[in-house]
């Protein structure tokens, strides 16, 4: 991986949840390239280990660890493995998250006759269990790892937490109320936690990515038959002043800046949009 700049994370231990995915694996690569010992945590242990193996092949120190971010016992077991392999956590990156189709409406607006169309999922049809799952995955999936790994940070210098919010937290997208609300909770929690941990010496900030192609959203943004943008994807690009999706490496600079206490030691409680101007554009 080519870094925009390097910071010195030598001797530090970085824990990345959601480490089986594309974006979080990229985060792990960047941190490892700066000298951190990286633990990639994921419910899919095989995916986490594959990504960890790629980090090791590139010369980094990394392990893949099975962990369920919604299960405190699973996280404590993972923390014990990380502690045994690398030592206590210095940097926690809460990358696990996602959405559910059952927490998504079929249309952007409710119109006359929609309630009579059984093929549609309206606001009134949203599955409460699916909405609960999305909130839990994104919010509790940030809170629980923080409860477990932040305990290893207490009393030690240069420790920080980086959460992953979303542009949905700033401007909720149509059709996905559960995910938008959950990410808004992550942003709010980032600010709350930054204040709560300020006197304990732990900084807490967040990245808010705009639209990046990932394994999770690929089928929503790219038509499987034609390989071209879907209608929703075209609308996203049209409302992104830079006129394209982001690329995963374009998150790296902000990540490294927030991870470095030398570069951002007085930065605490912020949520940084990385969105190609999406949040600045009114649509006209």
Segment 80-117, tens digit of pLDDT: 999 999 999 999 999 999 999 999 999 999 999 999 99
On the question of pLDDT at 214 being above 80, the answer is: no
Identify whether 179 is a catalytic site residue: yes
State mean pLDDT over 218-228: 77
Q: Using H for helix, E for strand and C for coil, what is the string for 96-145? A: CCCCCHHHCCCCCCCCCCHHHCCCCCCHHHCCHHHHHHHHHHHHHHHHHH
How many secondary structure helices (H) and strands (E) does the chain include?
A: 10, 7
On the question of pLDDT at 215 being above 80, the answer is: no
On the question of pLDDT at 219 being above 70, the answer is: no
Name, of 84-93, 210-219, 239-248, the range with top average pLDDT: 84-93
225 or 233, which is more confident: 233
Q: How many CB atoms sit inside 10 A of residue 207's CB?
A: 23
Answer yes or no: is 265 within a domain.
yes
On the question of pLDDT at 1 being above 80, the answer is: no
Task: Select from 275, 261, 45 the least CA-distant residue to 162.
Answer: 261
Q: How far apart are CA 162 and CA 269, in angstroms?
A: 10
Q: What is the CATH number of the domain that holds 258?
A: 3.40.50.720
Answer yes or no: is 7 within a domain.
no
pTM to 2 decimals? 0.94
First to last CA, the chain: 38
Task: Select from 163, 41, 151 the least CA-distant residue to 89.
Answer: 151
Answer yes or no: is 2 within a domain.
no
Answer yes or no: is 5 within a domain.
no
On the question of pLDDT at 22 being above 90, the answer is: no
Return the bridge partners of 273, or none: 208
Task: Select from 1, 46, 64 the least CA-distant residue to 27.
Answer: 1
Angle in degrees, 0-180, between the axes of helices 177-197 and 128-135, rounded to the nearest 10: 30
Confidence of residue 212 (pLDDT cuts 50, 70, 90): confident
Contacts of 18 (CB under 8 A, 6+ apart): 24, 41, 42, 69, 94, 95, 96, 97, 164
Contact (CB, 8 A) for 91 and 27:
no
On the question of pLDDT at 2 being above 80, the answer is: yes
On the question of pLDDT at 223 being above 80, the answer is: no
Rounded to an integer, what is the distance from CA 146 to the centroid of its chain?
Answer: 14
Answer yes or no: is 31 within a domain.
yes
Confidence of residue 224 (pLDDT cuts 50, 70, 90): confident
Least confident of 115-129, 151-165, 217-231: 217-231
Least confident of 38-47, 166-175, 221-230: 221-230
Catalytic one of 27, 133, 170, 179: 179
Q: How far apart are CA 273 and CA 34, in angstroms?
A: 23
Domain that holds residue 90: 13-280
Question: Where are the alpha helices (H) located in the chain, listed in sequence order?
Answer: 22-33, 45-57, 72-85, 128-135, 141-149, 177-197, 218-221, 231-238, 252-259, 261-264
Domains contained in the chain, number = 1
On the question of pLDDT at 75 being above 90, the answer is: yes
Contacts of 284 (CB under 8 A, 6+ apart): none
pLDDT digits (tens, 9 = 90+) for 50-70: 999 999 999 999 999 999 999
Q: What share of the chain is helix, strand, coil (3-state, %, to 5)?
A: 45, 15, 40
């Amino acid at each position: 991986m080519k870094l925009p700049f390097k910071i010195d994370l030598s001797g530090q231990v970085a824990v990345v949840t959601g480490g089986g995915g594309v974006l979080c694996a990229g985060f792990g690569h960047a941190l490892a390239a700066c000298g951190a010992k990286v633990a990639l945590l994921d419910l899919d242990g095989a995916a986490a280990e594959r990504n960890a193996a790629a980090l090791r092949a590139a010369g980094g120190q990394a392990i893949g660890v099975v962990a369920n971010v919604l299960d405190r016992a699973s996280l404590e077991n993972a923390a014990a493995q990380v502690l045994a392999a690398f030592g206590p956590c210095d940097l926690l990156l809460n990358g696990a998250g996602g959405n559910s189709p059952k927490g998504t409406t079929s249309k952007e607006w409710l119109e006359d006759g929609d309630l009579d169309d059984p093929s549609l999922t309206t606001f009134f049809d949203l599955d409460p269990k699916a909405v609960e799952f999305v909130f839990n995955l994104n919010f509790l999936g940030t809170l629980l790892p923080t409860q477990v790994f932040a305990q290893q940070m207490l009393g030690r210098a240069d420790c920080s937490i980086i959460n992953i919010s979303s542009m949905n937290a700033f401007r909720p997208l149509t059709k996905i109320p559960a995910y938008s609300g959950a990410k808004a909770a992550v942003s709010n929690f980032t600010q709350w936690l930054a204040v709560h941990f300020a006197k304990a010496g732990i900084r807490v900030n967040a990245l808010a990515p705009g639209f990046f192609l990932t394994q999770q959203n690929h089928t929503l943004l790219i038509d499987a038959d034609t390989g071209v943008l879907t209608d929703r994807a075209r609308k996203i690009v049209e409302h992104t002043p830079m006129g394209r999706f982001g690329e995963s490496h374009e998150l790296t600079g902000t990540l490294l800046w927030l991870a470095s206490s030398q570069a951002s030691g007085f930065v605490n409680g912020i949520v940084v949009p990385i969105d190609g101007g999406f949040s600045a554009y009114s649509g006209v």
